[in-house]
Each structure stands twice: as structure tokens, then as C-alpha cells.
Amino acid sequence: MRLEKGMKRFFKNGYKMAAGHKTKKPMKLGDFTEKVISIITLGQGKRIAKFVAKLFGYDDCGCDKRQEKLNKYIFTKDGIKKL
């Protein structure tokens, strides 16, 4: 239930009013993914990921690289499109 409220709020903020019509701003997929992970992990996503990465012997969790790669795509009403 809490996740649904957060998702609704996020999508609602993705809209802007222009001449009385709702138009959707393009939402980058990497930012969307980070927001969902943040909601699920109560804001501790990167901290948990870095801890698990160090347990397995990695220096970095790869969160920033993943976000950069996914930000090349936008999430629209019609689906996912490449920029």
C-alpha cells in the first residue's frame, strides 16, 4: 500500500500543467528505478547495496553506473523509448 502511494505521488509530480492540459514530462528510467528502490528500502538503498558489495569483495555496488545506463531511456505513457 505504501509503495502504491509513493508511485502515485511520483507519477503525479511527473505531470505539469500547460494551458490547462496535463502533459507528461519524460521520465528517465534510471531516476525512476532509483526512486522505487528508495521507497522499498526506506531511503537506505545505496547503503545496503554497498554493504552487500563489500561482503562479496567488490569495491563498488554499481548503482551510479546502472543509473547512467538506464537514463538513456525514457519512460512514457506509450512505453519505454530510447533517447
Run of H or E residues at 7: helix 2-13
Minimal CA–CA distance to 83: which of 72, 70, 75, 67? 72
pTM over 0.75: no
Q: What sign does the dihedral 27-33-38-40 (CA atoms) show?
A: positive
pLDDT score recorded for residue 65: 93
Average pLDDT value for residue range 22-49: 86
Would the pLDDT of 55 be above 70? Answer: yes
| Per-domain residue ranges of the chain | 2-82
Is residue 5 within 8 A of residue 57, CB to CB? The reply is: no
